[in-house]
Structure 1
Amino acid sequence: MIRFIVFLILPLFSGLVASNILDISHSLLSNFRQLASLNLTDCDVGDVQFPLDQTTPELSPPGEGLSLKIAAVGRGTQNYTCQDDPSGQPAAVGAVATLFDASCIAATSLRFLTGAPEFAVTVAHDALVTLSLDVSAIAGSGGDTLVIGEHYFDSDSTPSFDFRLSGRKEWIAAVKDENVPAPDSAIPGSVPWLKLGFKGGEGIREVYRVSTAGGSAPESCADQPSNFEVQYSAIYLFYG
């Protein structure tokens, strides 16, 4: 598993452009045939305790009786508008993100997991999807893919997380319970950490957004288009 994690982050450390990632992945994978014997998805994370003491104030712990069901890295955009007040501050209008299965990394090394968003945000979204599919295919994951869900805001502006497209049953329409600034260790412009509660869904009762990287809007709408996106990544923890 450690070799798999190193594979995932090595192209990111090297500072290579996204267009080269697919070629690099093929080269690296030729030296990592051990992947075929590793679990890449659906690892048990019920006993994983993610540290929530890095922010001021701290996010409260999961509700009584809840345990971690899914750990994922989200990669997408935070979306903003300046239509209503072109001379004011951008207003948040939701987010979209692809959710990558990080449960096996969480079960192996939280240190690697917490650093993943800072590197993922430097890689183009489509290139990251392609890379994850490439890893899954060569690892012989039996049809399972590291792309396991999607995050979006529904027509009622409710933050939603849906894993059903990957064959799982879990999904949640959530409501914001807690919002704390990202810690000083986060890269500049990182969106806050969140704890989200239950509005509707199946199999998930609470969601945490932690280890955020990027996503914050500029302070002013000056020189900004009416609608724009800011790239971001984060770890999402799903409890049920």
Structure 2
Amino acid sequence: MRLLTLLVLPLALAAPTHQSLDLSADNAPDAIDHLSEYFNLLAEKVRRYKVLDAPPECDVSKAVLPTSPDPLPVPDDSTVIRHVAIGRGTQNYTCTANATAAPVPAGAVATLFDASCLAATQPDLLTVLSHLAISYHPSPLPFASSSANAGFGDGPRPRLGPSDLEVSGVHYFTAEGMPFFDLELADAGSVGVAKNASSPAPGDAPVGLGGEKAVGWLRLLAPEGKTGKGGLEEVYRVDTVGGSPPATCNGMPETFQVEYAAQYWFMGKKE
């Protein structure tokens, strides 16, 4: 019954557990369309589940990784999907005094929301929710420390509006500049990675709050011989929304952030 609960609870939960929809952003018309599509799909899923003996099995290992027009390398044969999350946060950049120079990437931070069950059973709903996530104000990020557990403590975890998806971890860059994923809240482990391959986001990818284009899709790998906790080895960033900087530093501050959303797929060693 877990999946049915995930689908129905958003209609009943009190508003304070969720973020608010940002209708002041440039992409507000798209947000309203995505919200309408989400609830139409949600209503259809609930209607169908009422006549089933049991909901579909929530087995994330059977989920299908999205592919772009310019596909990324496929996961290693020795791995299996362990966790899927929707990330909501910021891509960070720096600028020099040269106004004609391009902004330089300076890492990212994001809250990760557990979407494993949706990826396994309702990929269409996952796609719509991923696109809608950018239009919701981001949750406070627990970066007072590098631990998701320490950051959220014993209090209630934020949920990804308008769904009931609960926080499963955090994404940030270490002091050494390594992308790091902490999924301890979901008992899914943690891993530090490096970029292995990239692919441009599809031309029709949703834009950010200010009309920013979607950042590229990535394949990220743990350094050789350094498998992450829980056996995690590969991370894919796909179905991205927003996050790209302006073409030049003209008029930009020395440091700035661009909000984004994305799906993150985590692969680990087969047991």
Distance 2:128 2:61 in 1: 21
Residue 169 of structure 2 is aligned to residue 156 of structure 1: no
**Alignment partner for residue 112 of structure 1, among 125, 140, 148?**
125
Task: Indicate the residue corresponding to 2:256 in structure 1.
Answer: 228
Distance 1:60 1:171 in 2: 22
Deviations 1:121-161 (A, max 9, x none): 0110028964449976xxxxxxxx71111000001111110
Distance 2:82 2:100 in 1: 44
How many residues align structurally? 208
Q: Select between 177-186 and 113-122 the one with higher mean Cα deviation.
A: 113-122
Q: Give secondary structure in 2 for the equivalent of 1:196.
A: strand
Q: Give secondary structure in 2 for the equivalent of 1:64.
A: coil
Q: Give secondary structure in 1 for the equivalent of 2:62.
A: coil
**One-letter amino acid matched to 2:190:** W
**One-letter amino acid matched to 1:218:** P
Change (3 A) 1:208 1:232: same
On the 8 A contact 2:21/2:136 being kept in 1, the answer is no
Residue 110 of structure 1 and its aligned partner are, at CA, apart by 0.9
**Alignment partner for residue 63 of structure 2, among 48, 56, 59?**
48
1:201-240 paired onto structure 2 within 5 Å: 201-202=228-229, 203-240=231-268
Task: Indicate the residue corresponding to 2:29 in structure 1.
Answer: none
Residue 116 of structure 2 is aligned to residue 98 of structure 1: no
Residue 64 of structure 1 and its aligned partner are, at CA, apart by 1.0
Deviations 1:24-60 (A, max 9, x none): xxxx9xxx9x9xxx99xxx4311212232x322x111
On the 8 A contact 1:75/1:125 being kept in 2, the answer is yes
Residue 87 of structure 1 and its aligned partner are, at CA, apart by 3.6
1:35-74 paired onto structure 2 within 5 Å: 43-52=58-67, 54-56=68-70, 58-74=71-87
Deviations 1:85-111 (A, max 9, x none): 444110000000000000111121111
Q: Structure 1: where are the runs of 5+ without partners?
A: 19-27, 137-144
Residue 193 of structure 2 is aligned to residue 174 of structure 1: yes
On the 8 A contact 1:44/1:69 being kept in 2, the answer is no
Task: Indicate the residue corresponding to 1:126 in structure 2.
Answer: 139
On the 8 A contact 1:133/1:146 being kept in 2, the answer is no
TM-score (norm 1): 0.75
On the 8 A contact 1:5/1:112 being kept in 2, the answer is no
**Alignment partner for residue 196 of structure 1, among 202, 205, 220?**
220
Distance 2:134 2:8 in 1: 17
Identity of aligned residues (%): 36
**One-letter amino acid matched to 2:187:** R
Distance 2:127 2:23 in 1: 22
**One-letter amino acid matched to 2:189:** E
Distance 1:66 1:167 in 2: 19
Residue 184 of structure 1 and its aligned partner are, at CA, apart by 1.5
TM-score (norm 2): 0.67
Distance 1:72 1:163 in 2: 10
Residue 112 of structure 1 and its aligned partner are, at CA, apart by 1.4
Deviations 1:46-85 (A, max 9, x none): 1212232x322x1111101211000000000000000364
